[in-house]
Amino acid sequence: MLTWIVGALHLVSAFSLVGLVLLHSGKGGGVSDMFGGSVGATAAGSTVAEQNLSRITVVVAVTFGFTTLILGLLLA
C-alpha cells in the first residue's frame, strides 16, 4: 500500500517538475513567453512571480528526490 502511495506521489512530482522547468524563462524566454513571462525579462528574473516559481520548483525537485530514494528502498 505504501509503495502505491509513494509511487503516485513520485509520478505527480515528476510531471509537475517537467511543467515547472518548462515555465522558467531561459536565455530565449522559453514557454513562459507564451504566458506573458517576457514582461519582466529586463529585471533578469527578479520579479516576485519568478522567485515564487523558483521556490516551488525547488520544493517539487526535493520531493521528487525523496520519493526516488524511498521507492528505491521499498522496492529493493
Tens digits of per-residue pLDDT, 13-34? 999 999 999 998 776 655 666 6
Q: Give pTM, 2 decimals.
A: 0.74
Please give the backbone phi and psi of residue 5, each rounded to the nearest 5 degrees, phi first: -65, -45
Residue listed under C-alpha cell 525579462: 41
Angle between helices 2-23 and 48-75 (to 10 degrees): 150
What the block records as the C-alpha cell of 64 is: 521528487
The average confidence (pLDDT) of the chain is 85
Helix, strand, coil percentages for the chain (3-state, nearest 5): 85, 0, 15
